[in-house]
């Protein structure tokens, strides 16, 4: 376990293959994101971020304990002190950092399968890292890869304190017992929310049915959670529940299910919460922040309500940066990353679920009706093209494809082509007035992207 792992991390051209993506650094924990490079990464982060200490949490993956130990070892070698928060949602780690002014790390690959893992960092105070900070950490990390890895290090356990603080913060965000009378099914994805989510919802008065809450290290996100909501949809119907909540592996995102079994995604959740806050005069700046992936139907709905829509690049850290730059309070992504900036420093699936259900209770209307009233979704088709090469002029070629497609669609739709931030893929998204038109454009663009990039 301890030693230099430089060679497996180098591409044929000598470049280091482990790099920051859209949300931290990820890789296969069996072959790439292993003890030695993670220790080097943690040392680099601790040196660059500074602060009075370092907090470390993890989701339920089999590789988590080893990588957590590596982070503690790297932080210790930097001269800093670290504490172990155990298995907790990512937002619980961010909350600890915010309350104590320390830096932190979350060991998780979010919605990826069990054999992948990742590390995402928080600056002192709990905020996501800027591009500049990531570049500084990346540079120092590459310098440290040539050094032998430090021996495993243990740290003081603060799991119970951190878990209690997270539950308390979520519960305090709404009125006491405000979910009384609701029967809710929650899918914990066999991940980080398996313990705290039921506690928080029950303390607010909800009748809670829990599924996918028996993690074994390899069943995280396995046919469950926000990326596989079918089991939750079926259980909501079987239980006659009012709603369902689906978390991802590290519980920083949420998708919902209505009593009809229909899926309610991040766009609809943000729309419901924005309209609810706007109606109560509590939507800061009468604006929301979303990414370029957000459905055109959302944009039309917000415009009709007099709510400004601010666009960012894909990634919740970009949403957070825009929220802070404008002093706004609500934003997020279609994938279910939702940030209530007045309440938290990052996306929080549990907080989002509680806020959504509180809006349902205020409206005295089923979630399905609220979602239908909040926005009318335009058909959206997504395609992923695996990339063999990426020419230097890729952005120019992509821009030309987008311009041609937008010319054909006019104001009836929207096109987005972008490289994935976490995988060797080019993502193609088309929205149009009809499913057939969206599929036709997506197929044509997928073929063109394949020809360009292989």
Contacts of 317 (CB under 8 A, 6+ apart): 23, 128, 129
Cross-sheet strand order for the sheet of 380-386: 380-386, 425-431, 414-419
- Which residue of the set 78, 110, 258, 301 is catalytic? 110
DSSP 264-326: E-HHHHHHHHHHHHHHTT-SGGGEEEEETTS-HHHHHHHHHHT-EEEEE-SSHHHHHHHHHHH
110 annotated active-site: yes
Structure tokens at 115: 């054999």
Taken in order 283, 293, 303, 356, the sign of the CA dihedral is negative
Angle in degrees, 0-180, between the axes of helices 349-363 and 196-203, rounded to the nearest 10: 20
The side-by-side arrangement of strands in the sheet containing 183-187 is 207-211, 183-187, 243-247, 254-258, 263-264
| Nearest CA-CA partner of 242 in 207, 275, 290, 199 | 207
Please check whether residue 24 is in contact with residue 97, taking contact to mean a CB–CB distance below 8 angstroms: no
Asked if 110 contacts 23 with a C-beta cutoff of 8 angstroms, the reply is: yes
Instruction: Give yes or no for a contact between 89 and 251, defined as CB atoms under 8 angstroms apart.
Output: yes
d(Cα 3, Cα 14) in Å, to the nearest integer?
A: 20
Instruction: Show Cβ contacts of residue 421 under 8 Å, excluding neighbours closer than 6 positions.
Output: 21, 22, 23, 314, 315
Q: How many residues does the chain have?
A: 454
Catalytic center residues: 110
């Amino acid at each position: 376990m301890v030693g230099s792992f430089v060679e497996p991390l180098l591409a044929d051209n000598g470049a280091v293959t482990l790099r920051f993506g859209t949300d931290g650094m990820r890789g296969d924990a069996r072959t790439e994101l292993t003890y030695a490079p993670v220790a080097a990464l943690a040392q680099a982060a601790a040196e660059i971020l500074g602060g009075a200490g370092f907090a470390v949490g993890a989701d339920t993956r089999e590789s988590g304990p080893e990588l957590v130990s590596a982070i503690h070892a790297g932080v210790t070698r930097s001269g800093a002190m670290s504490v172990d928060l155990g298995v907790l949602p990512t937002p619980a780690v961010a909350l600890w950092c915010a309350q104590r002014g320390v830096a932190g790390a979350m060991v998780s690959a979010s919605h990826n399968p069990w054999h992948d893992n990742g590390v995402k960092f928080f600056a002192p105070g709990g905020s996501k890292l800027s591009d500049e900070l990531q570049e500084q950490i990346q540079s120092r990390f590459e310098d440290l890869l040539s050094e032998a890895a430090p021996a495993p290090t243990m740290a003081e356990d603060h799991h119970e304190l951190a878990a209690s603080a997270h539950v308390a913060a979520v519960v305090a965000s709404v009125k006491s017992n405000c979910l009384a009378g609701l029967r809710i099914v929650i899918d914990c994805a066999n991940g980080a929310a398996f313990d705290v989510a039921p506690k928080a919802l029950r303390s607010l008065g909800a009748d809670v049915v829990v599924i996918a809450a028996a993690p074994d290290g390899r069943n995280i996100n396995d046919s469950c959670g926000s990326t596989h909501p079918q089991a939750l949809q079926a259980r909501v119907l079987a239980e006659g529940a009012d709603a369902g909540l689906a978390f991802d592996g590290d519980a920083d995102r949420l998708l919902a299910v209505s009593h009809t079994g229909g899926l309610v995604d991040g766009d609809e959740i943000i729309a419901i919460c924005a309209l609810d806050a706007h109606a109560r005069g509590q939507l800061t700046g009468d604006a929301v922040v979303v990414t370029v992936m957000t459905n055109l139907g959302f944009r039309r709905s917000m415009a009709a309500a007099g709510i400004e829509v601010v666009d960012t690049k894909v990634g919740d850290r970009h949403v957070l940066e825009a929220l802070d730059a404008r002093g706004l309070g609500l934003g997020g992504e279609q994938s279910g990353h939702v940030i209530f900036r007045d309440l938290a420093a990052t996306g929080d699936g549990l907080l989002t679920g509680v806020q959504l259900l509180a809006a349902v209770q205020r409206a005295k209307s089923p979630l399905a009706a609220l979602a239908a009233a909040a926005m009318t979704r335009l058909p959206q088709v997504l395609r992923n093209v695996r990339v063999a090469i990426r020419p230097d002029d890729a952005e120019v070629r992509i821009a030309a494809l987008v311009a041609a497609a937008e010319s054909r669609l006019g104001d009836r739709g929207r096109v987005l082509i972008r490289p994935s931030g976490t995988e060797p893929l080019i993502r193609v998204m088309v929205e149009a007035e009809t499913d057939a038109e969206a599929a036709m454009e997506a197929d044509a663009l997928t073929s063109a992207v394949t020809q360009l990039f292989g």
